[in-house]
Structure 1
Amino acid sequence: MNPAHGLCAAGFDHPGWRILIMLFLLRQYGCCRATVMLLALVSASTIPQRSTAATDMILSEVMQAALIRNQDLEAARSQVNAAMGRLKQAGRWPNTRLDLSNQSNKVLSTGGEFTRSIGFSQNFPIAGRINRSMDVARVDVASALTEVNEAERTLLADVARAYYDIVAIDQQISLREKLITIDKALVRASAARQKMGEVSEIDVNTASLELERLRQQQTVLAGKRAAVLKTLAGLSGFGVEEGLAVNTTLPAIVPPPPVEELRRQALSQRPDLRLLSLAANRARGEQLLAKASAWEDWTVSLGIERDKLVITGLPRQSTDTALLLRLSVPIPILNRNRGAQSAAAADAMTAHYKRSALQMRIENEVTGRHAQVMRLLDALTAYRDRTLPLSRRTAELARQAYRMGQLSIADVVQAQRQEIDLNASYIDTLAMYLQARADLKTATAGWTTLMTHPVDTSTDQTGGR
């Protein structure tokens, strides 16, 4: 049987999987080191590399770097090689045994009788045990590949959340910088009016304290940004001494695709769903293996025996040489492996129910995430079109009225704080939208174009027999 057929039958006929099947064939023929090197090259070849020393990285580039550099992913990929090794071992026959025998009465008597034999014995799997073992090992290879996809999906989700945290923090810092510039002008205006005797020192101090409050907030945000940036660097595989600079330009705020389309995408692309399908396939393979193992291997022995008999009262006998052929057939009467077969069948049902439960959770998760994104979009639109322009206009009118002596500094600070609070609420809502959008994309496995070899779970081509 062609060893690639099992992987193709297991539903991995995607072009990316064909590459890995080719790698398995190389490994099957003994090119172990070449397989490891080629697998690393294939994993990296799908990810365009980009120098990060001179320019800031956008989200997709940070994700690409994470897929290349993250050591947890390398650990997951190494398990593919381990599964390939187990598949190779599963196809090996038992070793041939050398049988030696010597029977003599030389120690106990002087008759000179002896019987000596030499031969070879070989176990023959007559019920297809090796083929069934290889079927199980092929599913293990497919599972290892899918676990790489699931590790990549989880990593990309963490990267996106950290990246969007930095985007939101930069928006907060940018807001403080604009307000600090405005407050500096307000402090200068208050100082000028104090010199003219129009306001007291209290007004100048109030404006200065508001300016200091904004500066302290900016310092706190800068520290938070540094911490999140290091978290992102760790996820992306950058060392402590390596610099990671990100481009935090605000992405386009657009509605997601229809929820029905996203649900179909999630069910066809989620690796964790595929893993449960493969778990059911493996259990069915284990059931067939247990059935085949009920018929243990037959043992065939072939050899030569020489013996000499001594009979009292008769002439000396010549040495006889004979060809030996033995066949040992275990009879499955007491143990037919029924317990192992029942356990494997139960495991298959367990995986089936778990897959159904996960599918239901995925559909509800995608629906909920989609609704959250749509509601946050409505809130952002209201902030952008009505609330923020009105708060900016109110604060500007308050500052103009203060310069003209129509309002006190307390009224200006109150209007300005209201503007800050509303802008901060807008940025918080924006951060929630970015995180919700990232969660929605994670729930639908939306970054499959970046993943090493994305799977397709839309069809259940399990290869079960």
Structure 2
Amino acid sequence: MKIVRAALLAAATCASVVQAQPQGDTQDIPAAKVFTLKEAVAAAGGAAPASEAAVAAVEAAEAGQRLAGLRPNPVVQVQVENIAGSGPYRGLRSAETTIGPAIPIELGGKRSARVAVARAQLTRAEIQQAITAADVRLQVTQLYVEAVAAERRLATARDQARIANDALRAASIRVQAGRASPLERQRADVAVTYAEANVERQARLAEAARINLVRRIGQPISGILDESVLDILPGTNVYGPAVPVDPSGTLALAAANADFTIAEAGVRLARANRVPDLNVGPAIRRLEATNDLAAVFTVTIPIPVFNNGRAAIAQATAQQTQADALRRLTALDIEQAITDAQAEAANAATTARAAAGPALASAQEAARIARIGYREGKFGQLELLDAERTLAETRVAAIDALAAYQNARAQLERLIARAPNAEY
């Protein structure tokens, strides 16, 4: 009996030590390299198709800005008159050949207006690139946290299965000694079956979470994950990150402001396009009959009869009004989203502190007392099983609460991420 009691006491002590230490302690595998969250984000940023698309969009916008600054190309005109007629104009005897360029001259500030639109589009593409990077960072963080949490749930399930097997051996000894009914061994055997099945489920979930992370970052994970990211909590007197509820400078509002700037530049371009351009054509004319040369100078001006540009201005003005309304709406939405995210992060931190602190400590102590009482015959098996079930549920709840806080914090950081251009 002394041997049995010593074994049960050792099992209880091991369970407490395992729970107190971070799961997957690197002391068990000292040579393993830790694959950090920062490394995962960096790897995903280079492999994500969204990041590649955002870079290509910036390059296209830069090319568009260069294109907008180019002047229109001149045109070479060749004109042959007084040919294939009758009398003296038969054949080419009286032909008059005119050769010269037609040089378009833009008026009304069209070129500078085009450049302004292209510059605004480039700024918008750069902001979108920053938005994409922030989205990738959020996605990878959530997948990384879930992978760490899944591995910790698996470690907890294995620990609970070990405890259930210890309880089965203790129940078997009690039944063989005639101190308990065979029903206790049956209950303990059922508990072991459920515990081992839970290990299988958690192992599949942990593998799936790791595969999802590998798929997102685009490369295999060469080391162990950094489990410390799950245990970062704010102080007891901190209720969410201390950031002002101000949407100014956030990525969402910067994008809305950039859209308004594009629309505003579009109005200027539409007004500039109302001014007709000139086509100046200095040329040389050769008279076939006398073999003489003469200078020719032409000026062409389009007549805005059917399209005077008013419809384009009306369209651009309406788009500017729409963009202005949307940026004001975005300011309200982002302010509300930041406030909600702050409250959610603060509540998640409170829940995590309670679940991973006093609640877990109480559940561990209750399980320890139940094991000792069951060993000494003071408590029945039902009390022991209930205490172990409560401990298992509390451990999982603590892991879930820690993961929920990390996800809430990542979401808040995504909302308050600053735009690359301070102007926005």
TM range (shorter): 0.7 to 0.9
Which has the higher mean CA deviation after the structures are superposed, 434-443 or 278-287?
434-443
2:97 equivalent in structure 1: 116
Contact 1:233/1:244 (CA < 8 Å) preserved in 2? Answer: no
Distance (Å, rounded) in 2 between the aligned partners of 1:413 and 1:106: 112
Helix, strand or coil for the counterpart of 1:198? coil
Distance (Å, rounded) in 2 between the aligned partners of 1:213 and 1:225: 18
Q: Select 2:278's aligned residue among 298, 301, 308.
A: 298
Q: How many residues align structurally?
A: 388
Helix, strand or coil for the counterpart of 2:225? coil
Task: Answer yes or no: is 1:91 the counterpart of 2:69.
Answer: yes
Distance (Å, rounded) in 2 between the aligned partners of 1:137 and 1:379: 49
How much identity, in percent, do the aligned residues show? 22
Task: Answer yes or no: is 1:390 the counterpart of 2:362.
Answer: yes
With normalisation by structure 1, the TM-score equals: 0.77
In the TM superposition, 1:301-380 aligns within 5 A as 301-307=281-287, 318-332=290-304, 335-380=307-352
Helix, strand or coil for the counterpart of 1:442? helix
1:233 equivalent in structure 2: 214
Deviation of 1:373 after TM superposition, in Å, equals 2.0
1:170 equivalent in structure 2: 151
Deviation of 1:107 after TM superposition, in Å, equals 5.1
Deviation of 1:219 after TM superposition, in Å, equals 1.4
Task: Answer yes or no: is 1:126 the counterpart of 2:107.
Answer: yes
Task: Answer yes or no: is 1:263 the counterpart of 2:245.
Answer: yes
Contact 2:33/2:222 (CA < 8 Å) preserved in 1? Answer: no
Task: Answer yes or no: is 1:159 the counterpart of 2:140.
Answer: yes
With normalisation by structure 2, the TM-score equals: 0.84
> What is the CA deviation profile of residues 344-384 of structure 1, one whole-angstrom value per residue up to 9, with x for unaligned ones?
12212211111111111111111111112222333333334
Distance (Å, rounded) in 2 between the aligned partners of 1:352 and 1:99: 46
Task: Answer yes or no: is 1:424 the counterpart of 2:396.
Answer: yes
Helix, strand or coil for the counterpart of 1:326? strand
Contact 2:240/2:346 (CA < 8 Å) preserved in 1? Answer: no
Contact 1:71/1:237 (CA < 8 Å) preserved in 2? Answer: no
- Sort the Cα spacing of 1:364 and 1:78 in 2 relative to 1 into closer, same or farther, 3 A: same
Helix, strand or coil for the counterpart of 1:253? coil
- Sort the Cα spacing of 1:233 and 1:139 in 2 relative to 1 into closer, same or farther, 3 A: same
2:4 equivalent in structure 1: none
Helix, strand or coil for the counterpart of 1:305? strand
Distance (Å, rounded) in 2 between the aligned partners of 1:243 and 1:299: 66
Which has the higher mean CA deviation after the structures are superposed, 359-368 or 379-388?
379-388
2:56 equivalent in structure 1: 78
> What is the CA deviation profile of residues 312-370 of structure 1, one whole-angstrom value per residue up to 9, with x for unaligned ones?
xxxxxx44421111112335465431221121122122111111111111111111111
Task: Answer yes or no: is 1:273 the counterpart of 2:253.
Answer: yes
Helix, strand or coil for the counterpart of 2:275? coil
Distance (Å, rounded) in 2 between the aligned partners of 1:56 and 1:198: 50
> What is the CA deviation profile of residues 39-94 of structure 1, one whole-angstrom value per residue up to 9, with x for unaligned ones?
xxxxxxxxxxxxxx962312122111111222321121011111112222222222
- Sort the Cα spacing of 1:78 and 1:107 in 2 relative to 1 into closer, same or farther, 3 A: same
1:455 equivalent in structure 2: 420
Contact 1:295/1:332 (CA < 8 Å) preserved in 2? Answer: no
Contact 1:117/1:304 (CA < 8 Å) preserved in 2? Answer: yes
* 5+ residue gaps, structure 2: 1-30
* 5+ residue gaps, structure 1: 1-52, 310-317, 449-453, 461-465
Distance (Å, rounded) in 2 between the aligned partners of 1:403 and 1:150: 59
Deviation of 1:419 after TM superposition, in Å, equals 2.0
Helix, strand or coil for the counterpart of 1:361? helix
Contact 2:150/2:209 (CA < 8 Å) preserved in 1? Answer: no
Deviation of 1:199 after TM superposition, in Å, equals 2.1
Distance (Å, rounded) in 2 between the aligned partners of 1:151 and 1:259: 23
2:171 equivalent in structure 1: 190
Distance (Å, rounded) in 2 between the aligned partners of 1:106 and 1:381: 98
